[in-house]
């Protein structure tokens, strides 16, 4: 099969498009014919081994897992002897970080416990844009932010993969949503349902006097002190993206700043959850959530797609099309 292989850590230059052996599913795994896969910041960090401690779990000198791509959408090709939930031909999707094999290949293996049936109304390429970003948005708002109807919610980084989904989920859950993005992406934020849109190139949302019950930072380009000014007295700050320096700051300082009955600061890292994939599918089928795709690349150009992702200007998700004939079908 064709795949994009990274046998050492580094820039996208180490990513090679070449032929490799098709993986064989274990007893509890399925073999997926990959139709599309979505890229995430997590893929970039694994490629770069950034931060360095990634090497302690992923391989000290070189990566144990040489094919990246956690978000997978495709059809079941074969099943292991213990698999009971799926059969060949089923359309499935899932988030495979830390399990199975990567989606930057014509075939991937995955534990059946990490997969759900594809949302019927989405194409495969749209489905590939859902798993990690949508799980991060849902869990960040619901589990960490404890979102409730009527809350004033601000999404910083509202035009990226996590942000575009977060705006829609927050609105579906009854919040008054303020989206923060650049000038050229304001119309998109409004179309996704934001009640208010702030152009960060013209207005500093941390100094305009407004305060919010919940802030989800899908783009961690501000300090914890900046966010503190914008939080209501009992507000919750949830960091879902940004540099590792900013994430460490939230983890290390946030617990010290958080006070019972006062402002709290949390960091969310998406957890693979079939139950949550089903929740997201229900929201998608109800017309409440729709993934946004910025660019599509063929598998052979995955390295270029990774470079574009790293630039940080994507309007939504970057998706790799593995099977062009099937990608646009439902």
pLDDT tens profile 206-217? 999 999 999 999
Distance of CA 277 to CAs 3, 12, 24, 132, 208, Å? 26, 30, 25, 10, 37
Q: Cis link prior to 160 (omega < 30° from 0)?
A: no
Q: 105 has which bridge partners? A: 3
Q: Are 110 and 94 in contact (CB under 8 A)?
A: yes
d(CA 112, CA 28): 6
If you count them, how many residues does the chain have?
Answer: 330
Q: Are 117 and 85 in contact (CB under 8 A)?
A: no
Q: What is the pLDDT of residue 250?
A: 74
Q: Which CATH number fits domain 132-267: 3.40.50.720, 3.40.50.920, 3.30.70.2860, 3.40.630.10?
A: 3.40.50.720
Poorest-pLDDT segment among 36-40, 61-65, 118-122, 123-127? 61-65
Q: What is the pLDDT of residue 245?
A: 67
Domain covering 2-130+292-327 in this structure, CATH number: 3.90.180.10
Q: Residue 143 — pLDDT band, cuts 50, 70, 90? A: very high
| Mean pLDDT value across residues 126-146 | 98
pLDDT over 70 for what percent of the chain?
96
Q: Are 217 and 236 in contact (CB under 8 A)?
A: no
Domain ranges of the chain: 2-130+292-327, 132-267
d(CA 43, CA 38): 10
d(CA 319, CA 149): 33
String of DSSP letters for 145-202: S---TT-EEEEETTTBHHHHHHHHHHHHTT-EEEEEE-GGGHHHHHHTT-SEEEETTT
Which strands form 212-217's sheet, in the order they lie side by side? 196-199, 176-181, 152-156, 212-217, 231-239, 264-267
Is the Cα dihedral 82, 85, 86, 91 positive or negative?
negative
What is the DSSP code (8-state) at residue 119? P
User: Per residue in 246-289, pLDDT tens?
Assistant: 766 776 667 667 878 899 999 898 899 999 999 999 999 999 99
């Amino acid at each position: 099969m064709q795949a994009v292989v990274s046998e050492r850590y580094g820039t996208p230059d180490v990513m090679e498009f070449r032929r490799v052996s098709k993986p064989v599913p274990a007893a509890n795994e399925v073999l997926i014919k990959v139709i599309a896969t979505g890229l995430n910041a997590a893929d970039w960090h694994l490629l770069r081994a950034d931060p360095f401690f990634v090497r302690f779990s992923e391989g000290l000198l070189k990566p144990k897992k040489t094919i990246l791509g956690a978000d997978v959408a495709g059809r079941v090709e074969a099943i292991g002897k213990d698999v009971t939930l799926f059969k060949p031909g089923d359309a499935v999707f899932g988030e495979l970080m830390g399990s199975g094999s990567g989606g930057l290949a014509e075939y991937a293996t995955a534990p059946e416990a990490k997969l759900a049936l594809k949302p019927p109304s989405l194409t495969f390429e749209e489905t590939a844009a859902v798993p990690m970003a949508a799980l991060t948005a849902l869990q960040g708002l619901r589990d960490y932010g404890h979102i409730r109807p009527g809350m004033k919610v601000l999404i910083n980084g509202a035009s990226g993969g996590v942000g575009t989904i977060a705006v829609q989920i927050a609105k579906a859950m009854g919040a008054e949503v303020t989206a923060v993005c650049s000038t050229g992406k304001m119309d998109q934020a409004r179309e996704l349902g934001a009640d208010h849109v702030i152009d960060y190139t013209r207005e500093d949302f941390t100094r305009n006097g407004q305060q919010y019950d919940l802030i989800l930072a899908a783009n961690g380009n501000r300090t914890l002190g900046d966010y503190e000014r914008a939080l209501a007295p009992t507000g919750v700050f949830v960091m879902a993206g940004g540099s590792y320096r900013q994430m460490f700051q939230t983890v290390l300082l946030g617990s010290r700043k958080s006070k019972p009955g006062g402002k709290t600061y949390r960091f969310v890292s998406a957890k693979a959850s079939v139950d949550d994939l089903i929740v997201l599918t229900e929201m998608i089928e109800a017309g409440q959530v729709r993934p946004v795709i910025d660019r599509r690349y063929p598998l052979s150009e995955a390295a270029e797609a990774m470079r574009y992702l790293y630039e940080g200007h994507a309007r939504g998700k970057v998706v790799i099309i593995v099977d062009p004939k099937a990608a646009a079908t439902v």
